[in-house]
C-alpha cells in the first residue's frame, strides 16, 4: 500500500460517504479525528490524495461559486469510490489481524526473554 499517506485514501472516502459532499478544508478538519496514523496530516497530502482519487474516478469535484468568498472545490464520492472504500475495509481488516498477531508475538518474546533471563540469573534454567 505504500507510505502512510496512502492511508489517507480510505479515511477521505469514509468521510465523504458518511457526511456527504465536502470542501477540502472541511475534510482536513475532520481527517485528524479518523486518521490511521498519529502523525499530523499535511494539507498538501490531503489535496494530492483528493486529486488521485478524482483521477481514479472515486470522487468528483465541482466548483462551488455560491457565497461571497472565492470559488471552492466541493468533493463527492462516486459509486466506484464506495466500492473502493469496501475494498480498503477488507485490506485494513486483514492488516489489523496481521498487526495484532505480530504485536502478540513480539510481546510473547519479551515474556520469554524475561523468563529466560530470570531463570539464568537464579540458576534454575
pLDDT, tens digit (0-9, with 9 covering 90-100), for 96-119: 999 999 999 999 987 765 555 555
Against a cut of 0.85, is the pTM above it? no
- The domain in which residue 91 lies consists of 4-122
Helix, strand, coil share of the chain (percent; to 5): 65, 10, 20
Q: Which residue has the higher pLDDT, 71 or 58?
A: 58
Give the Cα separation of 83 and 58 in Å (integer).
9
Q: Which residue has the higher pLDDT, 36 or 79?
A: 79
Angular region, 67: left φ>0, alpha ψ -120 to 50, beta rest: left
- Provide the CATH number for the domain around residue 59: 1.10.10.10
Residue 35 corresponds to which cell in the numbers above? 486518521
CB count within 10 Å of CB 110 equals 9
Q: How many residues does the chain have?
A: 125
**pLDDT of the residue at 32:** 76
Asked whether the predicted pLDDT for residue 2 surpasses 50, the reply is no
Interval 78-87 mean pLDDT? 98
Total domain count, the chain: 1
Amino acid at each position: 500500500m505504500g507510505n502512510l499517506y496512502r492511508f489517507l485514501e480510505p479515511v477521505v472516502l469514509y468521510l465523504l460517504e458518511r457526511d456527504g459532499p465536502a470542501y477540502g478544508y472541511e475534510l482536513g478538519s475532520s481527517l485528524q479525528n479518523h486518521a490511521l496514523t498519529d502523525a499530523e496530516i499535511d494539507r498538501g497530502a490531503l489535496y494530492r490524495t483528493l486529486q488521485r482519487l478524482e483521477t481514479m474516478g472515486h470522487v468528483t469535484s465541482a466548483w462551488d461559486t455560491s457565497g461571497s468568498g472565492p470559488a471552492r472545490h466541493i468533493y463527492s464520492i462516486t459509486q466506484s469510490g464506495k466500492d473502493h472504500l469496501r475494498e480498503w475495509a477488507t485490506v485494513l481488516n486483514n492488516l489489523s489481524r496481521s498487526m495484532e498477531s505480530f504485536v502478540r508475538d513480539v510481546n510473547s518474546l519479551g515474556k520469554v526473554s524475561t523468563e529466560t533471563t530470570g531463570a539464568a540469573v537464579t540458576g534454575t534454567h
